[in-house]
Structure 1
Amino acid sequence: PAWGVPPMGPPPRKSRVGLVLGIVGGVVAAGIAGLVLLGAVLESGFPEAEHELTLPQKLLDEKYELAEDLSGTEGQKVEDEADGAWDAKDISAVVGRYSPGGDDTKGMLLVSGMYGRFKNEADVRSGMLKGAGEADGVTVAEPPRDVTPAGADTTVACEVLTQKQALVTITYPVCSWADGNTAAVVGEVDLRRKDTAGIDLETAARNALRIRAEMIRPAG
């Protein structure tokens, strides 16, 4: 509203969900862009391409259903950004938006990933979270840290972000993983949450690894 004009009250619930989708999606996109390090492509030190990522119809033991496959649009932007990166080769991207039971008003899960051939995995993980934390309107509520859940053989980096735009404020965990063939950033949003209470990065890390296990498959 213009200066001196009182606001008209909160937007309809549907509009609020759309706004949340937009601002969280921007963070996820910024996070995956953090993977891209410009420079000359170096041929040595890259692993063989043994695994790739898919977007299953359901994730996290069928808690979330695929609502929108953005691989052809946002994923193409990721691939274009990655072209020429010195620590990534033969890149393909998958980007998807999931909702619990197909209902966006309850929350969402956004996954933006790449598969191909990567090196310097720790730098890739931290770079993705750094990019997410620097997105417009974002405050890092809990700084990034590496988490290796009990019994896991893969390290996940996680942080907690708070975003405020218009009348919407949301707080949610974002996690990233990177191995020789796959890398992704995952944001899981509960629309009922207003602050960091109840956010457990150990749980977020375990969920990220479960998502990884459900998305990964042999290359080819």
Structure 2
Amino acid sequence: MEQSRSNSTQAEPHTQSGPGGRRTGRVIGIVAVSVAGLLLAGFGVRQLASSGLPDATHRLTLPETVGDGTYELSKDLSQTERADALGRALSAGSRTPQAVIAQYASVSSEAPSVLALSGAYGQFANPAKIRQSMMDGGARAANATATVVQPEDITPTGSDTTVTCQAVKILSTTAVWTVQPMCAWADGNTVALVTVLTAETPEPTPENVDLGRLAALTVKVRTEARQPIG
């Protein structure tokens, strides 16, 4: 992770030229404000027991690209006050948590979108409860007004990793109602929340939310970002 930070910490968010680029910039603004707040709210829901912690075998990194190269790292926020606050929130139910927060921009100019990754690595107890806590936090965030799609556990085809996903209705920083889908994974060493927002945001209805697709992407991001220690 240290290598990727040295190249990307000061990078500006990826934007496209023309009207679509301006819209993409607004989407990035929505993500920056809301996602970390959702995660912090989630981890504040419960104080998780820190007994029986697993060995530290993996860490959470920030690859230059995720999703098989469809998203590229545009902003590393792991050294911000927001990340420090996340680390402190996690400390009650873990050992040596290190927060990781980043934004990724799609490389396609035809379908601009932003992927946000907020999480941490360390030694965590009760991964299933952590996933549920993140969903609870998403529904309680200050800019969230309703849960459009209730939390559900999804194990994508061909994977042995279960993620918990939901979608909430939020009021963006540009005063536009939108739907924010999110999926979370948690294991003994890494936990993270993944969200994706597109420039053409759909109407906030359950029919327009494809949590299965986001779950598959989340598992792929986990495979790419979760790396052995040493």
TM-score, with length taken from structure 1: 0.83
- Give the Cα separation in 2 of the matches to 1:26 and 1:112: 12
1:121 aligned residue: 127
1:151 deviates by 2.4
1:193 aligns with 2:201: yes
| TM alignment of 1:101-116, pairs within 5 A | 101=107, 106-116=112-122
Amino acid at match of 2:167: V
| 1:148/1:136 CA distance change after superposition, 3 Å | same
Q: Give the match for residue 78 of structure 1.
A: 86
The answer for the alignment partner of 1:6 in structure 2 is: none
Q: Aligned partners of 1:59, 1:161: CA distance in 2, in Å?
A: 24
What residue in structure 2 maps to residue 3 of structure 1? none
Partner SS state of residue 213, structure 2: helix
The ranges of structure 1 where at least 4 consecutive aligned residues each deviate by more than 6 angstroms after the TM superposition are: 12-15
Q: How many angstroms apart in 2 are the aligned matches of 1:37 and 1:51?
A: 25
Q: Which runs of structure 2 are paired with 1:2-81 in the superposition (5 Å)?
A: 17-33=24-40, 34-36=42-44, 42=50, 44-73=51-80, 74-81=82-89
Change (3 A) 1:63 1:185: same
Residues 31 and 167 (structure 1 numbering): CA distance in 2 closer, same or farther, change over 3 Å?
Answer: closer
**1:174 equivalenced with 2:182 (yes/no):** yes
Structure 1 residue 36: Cα displacement: 4.4
Change (3 A) 1:115 1:36: farther
**Structure 2, unpaired ranges of 5+:** 1-18
Letter in 1 for 2:85: K
State the alpha-carbon separation in 2 of the partners of residues 36 and 45 from structure 1: 21
Q: Distance in 1 between matches of 2:216 and 2:63?
A: 18
Structure with the largest fraction of helix: 2
Count of aligned pairs between the two proteins: 206
Q: Which moved more, 1:196-205 or 1:171-180?
A: 196-205
Q: Which residue, 135, 142, 147 being the options, matches 1:136?
A: 142
1:183 aligns with one of 184, 188, 191:
191
Please tell me whether the aligned partners of residues 27 and 114 of structure 2 are also in contact (alpha carbons under 8 angstroms): no
CA contact 1:26–1:135 (8 Å) conserved in 2: no
Q: Is the 8 A contact 1:27 1:132 kept in 2?
A: no
- What's the TM-score, normalizing by structure 2? 0.80
Larger Rg: 1
The aligned amino acid for 1:175 is: C
Match of 1:206 in 2: 216
How far did residue 23 of structure 1 move? Answer: 3.2
Partner SS for 1:99: strand
Match of 2:10 in 1: none
